[in-house]
Structures are given as C-alpha cells and as structure tokens.
Amino acid sequence: MSHTALMVGINYDKYPGGVATSQSGALGKLRYAEDDAREMASELEQAGYDVVTLLGEDASRRNILDALSGQRVAAGGDGLFLFHFAGHGGVENGVAYMMPIDSEPGALEATGLRMEDIVTRHLTDVDSAVALLDCCHSGSAIGVRDSAADAEAGARAFRDQMQQIVTRIGGTGRAIITACAGSELAYEDPDLKHGAFTYFALEHLRTSKDVVTTNSLFESIDKGLESKKLPAPVQGGSWQGRIVLRPGQADAIVAAAGGNLNPLEVKAHGTVSVKAYATATVVEAPSENAEIEQRILSHLLPQFEAFQARHEREQIITIGDRILRIDRNHEPTKSVTRDARVSRGNSHLQNSQPEGAITDFTRAIELDPENPQHYRSRAQAHTQRGEYAKASADLTQAINLHTNSEAPADYYYDRGASRYLLQEYKEAIDDLRRAIRLDSVQAHYHTKLGMAYKASGDIQRANRTFDYAVALGDASAEKEIER
C-alpha cells in the first residue's frame, strides 16, 4: 500500500510575480507555517511517505490543485493520502476557504481553495485519506460556520456533517483534523516556534513508540492545545478500525522492507501477532525482533549495495533510510546515505531550490551532527530563502563545532554577511574582520566589511576598506566609496 502526502506552508512574506501589492498587503505575515510544513514533510519521509512540499511563493492555487491530484493518484486505489495545510483561511459569503499565496481576500470564490472541496473532491479515489488543517476558520472544512453556538456545538456539527459527506464518497477511511472550530482563530506560538496544532502533531509523530492513528494523533493534539489554553481541535470522518498514519516499532520493521516482507510470514515465525484492519495491517509489537530485523536487513542490504555501485542517488537515499530505521548506526549505510543527502542538497543549492536543500542538509545533520559543513550548507539554503537569522544560527553552530582549531575564514565571512543583512553591524564587522585576519587576500571580504562600516556610519573606515578591496581586484567596491 502506497503512502503519499502533500505538505503546504505559507508565511505570506514572499509573493510570485503577478500578485498585486494591494493583494499581498492584505494578508498578514505568519512566522512558522513554512517551517511547520517542512518539518512535517521530513517526519513523514522518514516514515516512508512519498512527500511533495509546496512552500511560500510556490504554493499557488494552481500548484496546490495539481499536487493534490498528483499525490492522490500516486497513492493508488488501495493507498493512503495525507494532506497538511499551514496558512491563512478566510470566509466569504459564509463559505470557508484556504488561502494560497496568490489568493485575493476580496475574491476567494475565484482565487481561494474551498475547504469543503477537500472532502468532496480531493479525498476521493483513494482507500484512506486524511487532511490536517492548521489555519484560521479550519473548522469550516466540512461546514461548521461561525453561527455555531459554542465550540462543543461546533465540534458536534463538524462530526455530523463529515459523516454525511464521506459516506457519499466511499472508501475505507476519511478523516479531517482541524486546528479549531470555524469561529475560532488558529494560533502561532512564539515559545514553541510553530503553529501550536502542528507542534503537537509533530511531537506525537516523533515520540510515540506505538502505532500512530488519526485517533491517537487527535488525542495528543487535543491535550497539547488544552495545556496551552488554546481552542480545542475538532475531528470528523468515517472509518472502520483505525486509519494508521505511522507504524509502531514492529510495524516499522515490516514497513522498512518496502512491503516485500509479508506480515503474515512474520506471524508464522511466532514472534508477532497480526490484526487486520480496514485500512492497514497492524502488527503488534513483539518482545524480541532481532531475528526479524536481520531478515529484513538481509533483504535490503544487497539492494543498497547494488544502487551504490550504480551511483543511483535517489534509491540510495530511499533504501538507506529504510535500513537506518532498523539500525540507525549501520555502516557503511549511514555514511553513504549521508553523502547522498549532501550531494542532493548541493544540487538543490545550485538549482536555487532551497527548500529541498534544507530538507537534505537537515537529514545529513541528523546522521552526522558533528560535521560543521552540514550546518554551513544549510545556512546557505536559508540565505537563499532570505532567512538570515536561521542562517546566522546555523553558522554559529558550525563555528562552535571547530573545537580543536579555528573555523575557516569563509565561515566567519558567511556569518558576517548574514549579520549585515540582519542590520547587526557591530557583530558583522567583528566577523568580517576575523575572516580577513584568517585570509586577507579575498577582495570580497574587504568589500563586505566596507559596506558594514558604511552602514554603521563609519565612512572614513569604509572608504579605506573599499580602496583596499579595489586594489585586490574587486572593481565593484569603487561604486561604494563616498568622496
């Protein structure tokens, strides 16, 4: 059974060409929606999902619709499709909409994505489908309107209408979990540095050792939001048994084989028991699974070695991650998979695809957390996205990891450049001066230092530094000199 997912996150701080200033200015900026989608994507990829991620200016109405269709088809008739949206929602004429990056607040019928369509159009033609909506008015996805008397009544209306809609669709499982009832607002929490709904969803996916189902996910989110005194989430749907989103310990062993190890075959060895549910085969956690792990590794390792010999990077990453879910320190799988992630991340950087680069370098850091270059590379991806504070933080970590020697000059230059863009001119000057002490012949180091001096108001030092940069061959520094 295939598992596919679409993650959408929009901070509304960058817009594609063709979006009017008045249109973009009407949408308040969010801080964490894109990080929410990025981290959900990474977590689901580790669980074996085929994930498509649309962030920021890539999350247009057309792109979202195309990806919804593509991922639903990719799941197949017997598969599971999961959709997560983090961004703004809006209501127009009593109808709730998700707001893509190119939506127009005053014309949502034409430019928004009708939330109810998520159920009636985009959770169909697949065996099981789940939508997680982390946005304002998200309770309206299945018809909860602002007229609901209170949150309890809204939640009840949500479930009732969901049941009515999904029973007309067919399929084994349909579920929507939303951040709040339609009359409430979704919340971004500065302490959590996430939308609160997505934070508690991620926490459950990361920490639960048991099977993660839609019910267990909802219960975890509900408890988390209650602890923060935030509006309760609501859930609705129609399913038999459980909709399994992520397997537990024993399930992961079977899933790691890529579906090539029959759970019933595992049962025959007397180590686990199997329960058949409507949407998934659930394997109860065994007391001892070493034999099963070795059987799966014996199946996966020859494939991994063959892909390595043929330099098939994508397959190395896919099979390598499966092996590492069983044995997280397996070598050479760990180092080879890390190198493949770094290679693909560098390709993303060269092609100006920072979202993919961030995902790959984050995974490389998980596999090799003491390697400073991974942090520097992720910082370069954050810089491409204009996320200078995140770039600066990664570069600080990269510099701090050089415990036995001085960090290279370009590390300090990169952090100085990030701090310059953050208007932290004193700190930028300190970094750039240190970079020059380590490598004084790089003309662009002097040019950037001159720009920091100039921005801080020290024109005399700026001009002297620009003159030195010109002497080293950077003609562009001439334009910065104030005579």
- Partners of 3 in the beta sheet? 80
425 in the same domain as 383: no
For the chain, what is the largest distance between any 2 Cα atoms, rounded to a whole number of angstroms? Answer: 85
Name the region of 20 (left: φ>0; alpha: ψ -120 to 50; beta: rest). beta
pLDDT at position 156 over 70: no
Which of 220, 246, 272 marks a domain boundary? 246
197 in the same domain as 101: yes
Per-residue pLDDT at 81: 93
At residue 269, the 3 state secondary structure works out as coil
User: Regarding predicted confidence, which is higher, 287 or 389?
Assistant: 389
E strand residue ranges, 280-438 = 281-283
Q: 443-482, pLDDT tens digit by residue? A: 999 999 999 999 999 999 999 999 999 999 999 999 988 7
180 in the same domain as 79: yes
399 in a structural domain: no
Q: 304-320, pLDDT tens digit by residue? A: 999 899 998 988 998 89
Per-residue pLDDT at 340: 95
User: Average pLDDT of 212-229?
Assistant: 90
> 227: domain range?
3-246
User: Above pLDDT 90, what percent of the chain?
Assistant: 43
pLDDT at position 250 over 90: no
* Sequence-ordered list of residues with C-beta below 8 angstroms from that of 139, at least 6 positions apart, any chain: 148, 154, 155, 158, 178, 180, 181, 182, 183, 184, 234
Per-residue pLDDT at 165: 45
284 in a structural domain: yes
Domains held by the chain: number = 4
Burial bucket for residue 328 (CB in 10 Å: 0-12, 13-18, 19+): exposed
398 in a structural domain: no
pLDDT at position 22 over 80: no
User: Distance between CA atoms of 178 and 130, rounded to whole angstroms?
Assistant: 11
132 in the same domain as 44: yes
pLDDT at position 25 over 70: no
239 in the same domain as 265: no
Mean pLDDT, the chain, integer: 80
147 in the same domain as 57: yes
Which of 235, 270, 291 marks a domain boundary? 291
User: Distance between CA atoms of 257 and 265, rounded to whole angstroms?
Assistant: 13
User: Regarding predicted confidence, which is higher, 289 or 269?
Assistant: 289
388 in the same domain as 413: no
Beta carbons of 46 and 325 less than 8 angstroms apart:
yes
> For residue 426, what are the CA distances in angstroms to 33, 120, 451, 454?
31, 56, 12, 11
Beta carbons of 337 and 316 less than 8 angstroms apart:
yes
234 in the same domain as 379: no
134 in the same domain as 42: yes
261 in the same domain as 242: no
User: Distance between CA atoms of 395 and 393, rounded to whole angstroms?
Assistant: 5
Based on its alpha-carbon atoms, the radius of gyration of the chain, rounded to whole angstroms, reads 25
260 in the same domain as 224: no
pTM: predicted TM-score of the whole model, two decimal places: 0.54
400 in a structural domain: no
C-alpha closest to that of 54 among 62, 46, 108: 62
CA atoms within 13 A on the CB side of 335: 4
Fill in the DSSP letter of residue 180: S
* Domain CATH number, residue 301: 1.25.40.10
Beta carbons of 412 and 431 less than 8 angstroms apart:
yes
Per-residue pLDDT at 82: 95
Structure tokens at 426: 């004193």
218 in the same domain as 140: yes
Q: 407-443, pLDDT tens digit by residue? A: 999 999 999 999 999 999 999 999 999 999 999 999 9
Burial bucket for residue 395 (CB in 10 Å: 0-12, 13-18, 19+): buried
Label residue 159 by pLDDT band (50, 70, 90): very low
